[in-house]
Structure 1
Amino acid sequence: MKKIPLFDLKRQNSPLEKKIFKSWKKIYHNSDFTSGKETDLFEQEFAKFCNVKYALGVHSGTDSLIISLKAAGLKYGDEVITTPCTFSASSDAIINIGAIPVFADIQPDTGNIDPKEIAKKITIKTKAILLVHLYGIPCDMNEIMSLAKKNNIKIIEDASHAHGSLYNGKPVGSFGLAGCFSLYPSKSLGALGNAGIITSNNKKFIMDARMFASHGIKNIETKYVHHVNGFNELIDNLQSAALINKLPNLNIIIKKKLEIAKKYNEAFKAIGKIGMIWPENVLPSIYVYSFQTKNRKKNATHFKKAGVSTGIYYPTPLHLQPSMAFLKYQKGDFPNAEKFFEQTLSLPIFAELSNNEVDRVVATIKKLHTI
């Protein structure tokens, strides 16, 4: 019995091999490696996809966060409210620009940051909220945007899991000052290496972001005049070429993954259990399919015996990571986040899963009641 993987990048990328290699060959012969029309086109098309005016390609999702925080004017000692339930890139970005991450607990059903908990953490030092649309489920944007407006706080959306997710019909990455996307290979829109992209409707912000991402240079005519201490973080033309070939398939990928997620949810419902949860007013772009279980180890063993891979996204909330020890948080500070990550388990979900593989996962879910 062949094992069903969590992801299969070979199946995802193989159909586009000829198109991508053709694009790369053209770049090779033109020597347009670092920038060019492929990058310009990708930025334009991704901006359209997110229904925003501007987009800026960068080296990674982490870079998109760092550059956005810098371009938003965050300074040393400023406080940024964020979630403990995510990958470390969000808190790393805050710390690496000299700001202070202030964690707020999550909603126990979705794993997303709770607006009520955000409100409790706002101080005169709070300059931004860096929210994360975990697993592709949009945060409660109405409540968060209302809080931000009331307190004059900037919103940075980490949409690295949520390419194409909609909240009340509006794409994530279009609500705040900036939308930050990872284009890591396993993402629904993945590069063939590291890449990321920033979205915004604010022209000054995106110009400042480009300046920070290119050594503080404002324009090519004055390329040796550095207005700020910047970085070398612009996306390269090879990754842009790959991504512009993959972008037209993104809506198909989103639709297929959502169909699979709904089948898994139906299987859980059939045995009186709860699968992945998202609010009725969102249309999620599922990155990973995760459900909550009090018997994670037993469940994982059950799936393993059936040849179904599982994963844990993520094992430890950020406030309990060794890298965050200097913030003096303790176990019990964010009970919802701690419980959520203690009980989360993920199942295979990618658009290229065969019907037979999906059926096998569904059948294995339906046998969970026996353990």
Structure 2
Amino acid sequence: MTTTAHPQIPILDLKPEIDELRPEIMAAIGRVLDRTDFIMGEDVHLFEQEVAAYLGVKHAIGVNSGTDALVIALRALGIGPGDEVITTPFTFFATAESISMVGAKPVFVDIDPATLNLNPELIEAAITPATRAIMPVHLYGNPVDMTRVMEIAAKHGLKVVEDCAQSFGARWQGTQTGTIGDFGAYSFFPSKNLGAYGDGGLLATNDDALADTARMLRVHGSRKKYHNETVGYNSRLDTIQAAILRVKLPHLEKWNTHRREVARQYNEGLKGIEGIVTPVLTTGHAFHQYTIRVQNGRRDDVQQKLAEQGIGTMIYYPIPQDELPIYRDQYPAYEQSSLAAKEVLSLPISGNFSLISSVLNSLKSI
């Protein structure tokens, strides 16, 4: 699969956003420099308060990355060696990696081909006496059926950690993803809907005791400096990144609305094209990625031809987690996940509508 080094229409272009917000961002960074509170500074605490209010949750805890958020959530829930956590095979490695990092075993269930998310109706068959939690991933910003997930979790006494790395601002039946389970884990990787200009992550919870444990774990397992209670992590949200995120947070709803409108225009423009399956538009979808399925073995050819026309695309994800070298031959085949990996193709989502029209015209000509 060949792509142009510098496509005319990149899969993601952060420059317009930076140009729009540059004065505010530079001023926010300047205030941090003036205060020199680079670690756990004022902007971290203010951002945690503001993002908790936005999410409608009691506790928001800034950490170093989305991966750390998942690991700390599992640790705070007491999940470790001998435990099993049910999740999807079709997502980025950090999901299963976090489970393995705490010594537990990822247990995969196949995806729903209509949503590309974990299929809730397959969860109960995967539950064993060792199962402790479910980790649904709101892939591409599309919420999992959390009503069904929570019903199953309650029935079997399981914890729920929502992987919201791609779903900041997405809603399931009006409720923010990440606020329904025991923990929500978010990433502020620069490409996210709400992205920092470096690494960053967040945990959300309504449980006071879990929040206290998570805050302890992010600073070397200590509630009080030099009084370490357990082995923790050096996982603090950087103050400069928090300052940048505070500037960007008030714009998130506008940006997500734009993404949904771009998705609507894509769906309308691609309607009826044989061999292309478009994502289902739902009110709560945040469209971190706009991902089509290119059927009949043509995905790589379509990607190549778009690249030749200067259009950047990405494959999220070419290899399901269970087929990665670390887990290969340890799991049965997951038919829908494997098929999706051969068909998915993500198109530019954050550009203006004239650029989206160019992408549509190119796709129609292939």
TM value normalised by structure 1: 0.93
State the AA in 1 paired with 2:127. Answer: I
* Among candidates 347, 351, 354, match of residue 352 of structure 2: 354
* Among candidates 272, 296, 305, match of residue 302 of structure 1: 305
> Following superposition of structure 1 onto structure 2, how do residues 27-46 of structure 1 map, counting pairs within 5 Å?
27-46=32-51
Q: 2: CA distance between counterparts of 1:22 and 1:283?
A: 33
Give unpaired runs (5+ residues) of structure 2.
1-5
Compute the displacement of 1:354 (Å).
2.5
Compute the displacement of 1:308 (Å).
1.5
Q: Is the 8 A contact 1:275 1:290 kept in 2?
A: no
State the AA in 1 paired with 2:291. Answer: S
User: What are the Cα deviations for residues 163-197 of structure 1, in whole angstroms up to 9, with x where unaligned?
Assistant: 11111111101110000001000001000100001
Compute the displacement of 1:278 (Å).
3.0
1:322 match: 325
SS of match in other structure, 2:19: helix
Q: 2: CA distance between counterparts of 1:35 and 1:257?
A: 32
State the AA in 2 paired with 1:26. Answer: R
1:103 match: 108
Q: 2: CA distance between counterparts of 1:87 and 1:162?
A: 14
| Sequence identity percentage | 36
* Among candidates 315, 322, 330, match of residue 312 of structure 1: 315
Q: Is the 8 A contact 1:82 1:104 kept in 2?
A: yes
State the AA in 1 paired with 2:313. Answer: T
Q: 2: CA distance between counterparts of 1:133 and 1:276?
A: 17
My pick for the range that moved more, 120-129 or 267-276, is: 267-276
Compute the displacement of 1:323 (Å).
1.5
Compute the displacement of 1:365 (Å).
2.9
2:267 match: 265
Q: 2: CA distance between counterparts of 1:337 and 1:356?
A: 33
SS of match in other structure, 1:223: coil
Task: Report the CA distance shift for 1:356/1:279 in structure 2 as closer, same or farther (over 3 A).
Answer: closer
Q: 2: CA distance between counterparts of 1:36 and 1:317?
A: 39
Q: 1: CA distance between counterparts of 2:172 and 2:323?
A: 30
> Following superposition of structure 1 onto structure 2, how do residues 91-170 of structure 1 map, counting pairs within 5 Å?
91-170=96-175
Q: Is the 8 A contact 2:138 2:163 kept in 1?
A: yes
Q: 1: CA distance between counterparts of 2:360 and 2:257?
A: 18
Q: 1: CA distance between counterparts of 2:89 and 2:75?
A: 21
2:365 match: 367
* Among candidates 53, 74, 79, match of residue 69 of structure 1: 74
State the AA in 2 paired with 1:268. Answer: L
Q: Is the 8 A contact 1:214 1:231 kept in 2?
A: yes
Task: Report the CA distance shift for 1:15/1:279 in structure 2 as closer, same or farther (over 3 A).
Answer: closer
1:179 match: 184
User: What are the Cα deviations for residues 238-291 of structure 1, in whole angstroms up to 9, with x where unaligned?
Assistant: 1100100010110011000110011111111143565432365x4200011111
Q: Is the 8 A contact 1:303 1:309 kept in 2?
A: yes
Q: 2: CA distance between counterparts of 1:206 and 1:141?
A: 21
Give unpaired runs (5+ residues) of structure 1.
none
Compute the displacement of 1:72 (Å).
1.1
SS of match in other structure, 1:238: helix
TM value normalised by structure 2: 0.95
Q: Does 1:239 align with 2:241?
A: yes
User: What are the Cα deviations for residues 204-225 of structure 1, in whole angstroms up to 9, with x where unaligned?
Assistant: 111100101111111xxx3111
My pick for the range that moved more, 302-311 or 4-13, is: 302-311
SS of match in other structure, 1:261: helix
Q: 2: CA distance between counterparts of 1:226 and 1:111?
A: 42
Task: Report the CA distance shift for 1:71/1:317 in structure 2 as closer, same or farther (over 3 A).
Answer: same
Q: Does 1:277 align with 2:282?
A: no
State the AA in 1 paired with 2:114. Answer: D
Q: Is the 8 A contact 1:215 1:232 kept in 2?
A: yes
Q: CA RMSD in A?
A: 1.6
1:57 match: 62
Compute the displacement of 1:305 (Å).
3.2
Question: How many residue pairs end up in the alignment?
Answer: 359
Q: 1: CA distance between counterparts of 2:320 and 2:254?
A: 32
